[in-house]
């Protein structure tokens, strides 16, 4: 008996990388899988190549599982509706959604174009909304379902050159939280995963030093998509029925439960705040608790082994 026996899962961006690993892991756990992949590049400049999704379907069928390929775009409302309907038409229902699909259009913020901003928001944030919204109705009707949405430490911590990506990924955290809160009464769960794994996105980052090249090689060897996949499968299974509205990081053999914004310190002034009292009190009182400008690499500065 597998964790996902009898379940139907939709995995977006499942033709390559982490999405592919999740689709295969879902199938190994007993799920019937809709393998969604548009076949586009990281920048989203091309589409229509359904072969990656078809190849994953063939791999699943070769291991004795059931799967169907879907080439709709997550950024389109109708496309998301169609991929969820494909699960229902082919397998009778939809039990799990894993929103992996993504693109990159990195640029320093002061040089970022409107097109670069819009493209990333459309695929990541609107894409998660489109697919989750399409699946929410049948899940609520059957009073069961689980969603996993991919966030990133680029949003949770920050990363230079990724204002569009970071904004989308933080938006996904808020989206997931509200889906979880509203879905609780209907037994529909929603969680986020921030993956640390070697993918096309990581590989696209230019290497600027021998030290960076060495770090990337360690990353490639020690943090693979296959580390992330079983955590996503678990979160979509009934074994995780008590987990919803949370954020997990997966980095090699490490699993993190991530913090969520909550009050850290408070300052009260019974006489009310003036410009002068703010200037005199706020920074000195909060100095040790204020966050600095560390990026993801500085926060996670040990090898994922």
Do 248 and 259 meet the contact criterion of CB atoms below 8 Å apart?
no
pLDDT at residue 196, rounded to an integer: 86
3-class DSSP state of 44: coil
pLDDT at residue 207, rounded to an integer: 67
* Pairing relationship of beta strands 96-99 and 145-150 according to DSSP bridges: parallel
165 is catalytic: yes
Residues 6 or more apart whose CB falls under 8 angstroms from that of 163 comprise: 107, 109, 112, 117
**Choosing from 165, 234, 256, 291, which is the catalytic residue?**
165
Q: Name which of 8, 55, 1 is nearest 29 in CA terms.
A: 1
Tokens 């680029």 label which residue? Answer: 154
| Number of CB atoms found within 10 A of residue 215's CB | 15
* Pairing relationship of beta strands 247-251 and 254-257 according to DSSP bridges: antiparallel
Q: Name which of 170, 167, 157, 47 is nearest 107 in CA terms.
A: 167
* Pairing relationship of beta strands 67-70 and 145-150 according to DSSP bridges: unpaired
List Cα–Cα distances, 51 to 101, 127, 131, in angstroms. 16, 21, 22
pLDDT at residue 219, rounded to an integer: 67
The CATH label, of 3.40.1080.10, 3.40.50.1110, 3.40.50.720, 3.30.450.70, for the domain at 8-260 is 3.40.50.720
List Cα–Cα distances, 140 to 34, 77, 125, 183, 304, in angstroms. 20, 19, 22, 7, 38
pLDDT along the chain (305 residues), means of 10: 95 96 98 92 54 96 98 97 98 98 96 98 98 98 98 94 97 98 98 82 64 67 88 98 97 94 95 97 96 89 70
């Amino acid at each position: 008996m597998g964790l996902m026996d009898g379940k139907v899962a939709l995995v977006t961006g499942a033709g390559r990388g982490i999405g592919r690993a999740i689709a295969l892991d879902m199938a190994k756990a007993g799920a019937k899988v809709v393998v969604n992949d548009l076949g586009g590049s990281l920048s989203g400049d091309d589409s229509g190549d359904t072969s990656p999704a078809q190849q994953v379907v063939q791999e699943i069928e070769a291991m004795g599982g059931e799967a169907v390929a879907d080439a709709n775009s997550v950024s389109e409302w109708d496309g998301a509706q169609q991929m969820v309907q494909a699960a229902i038409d082919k397998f009778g229902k939809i039990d799990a959604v894993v929103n992996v699909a993504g693109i990159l259009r990195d640029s320093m913020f002061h040089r970022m174009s409107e097109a670069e901003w819009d493209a990333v928001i459309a695929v990541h944030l609107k894409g998660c909304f489109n697919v989750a919204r399409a699946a929410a109705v049948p899940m609520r009707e059957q009073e069961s379902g689980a969603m996993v949405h991919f966030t990133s430490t680029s949003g949770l911590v920050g990363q230079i050159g990724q204002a569009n990506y970071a904004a989308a990924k933080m938006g996904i955290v808020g989206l997931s939280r509200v889906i979880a809160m509203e879905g609780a009464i209907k037994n529909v769960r929603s969680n986020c995963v921030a993956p640390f794994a070697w993918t096309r996105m990581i590989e696209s980052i230019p290497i600027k030093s021998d030290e960076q090249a060495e770090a990337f090689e360690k990353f490639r060897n020690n943090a693979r998509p296959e580390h992330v996949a079983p955590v996503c499968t678990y979160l979509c299974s009934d074994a995780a029925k008590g987990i919803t509205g949370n954020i997990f990081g997966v980095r090699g053999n490490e699993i993190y439960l991530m913090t969520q914004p909550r009050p850290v310190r408070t300052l009260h002034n019974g006489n009310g705040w003036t410009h002068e009292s703010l200037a005199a009190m706020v920074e000195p009182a909060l100095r040790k608790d204020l966050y600095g400008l560390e990026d993801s690499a500085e926060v996670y500065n040990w090898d994922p082994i």
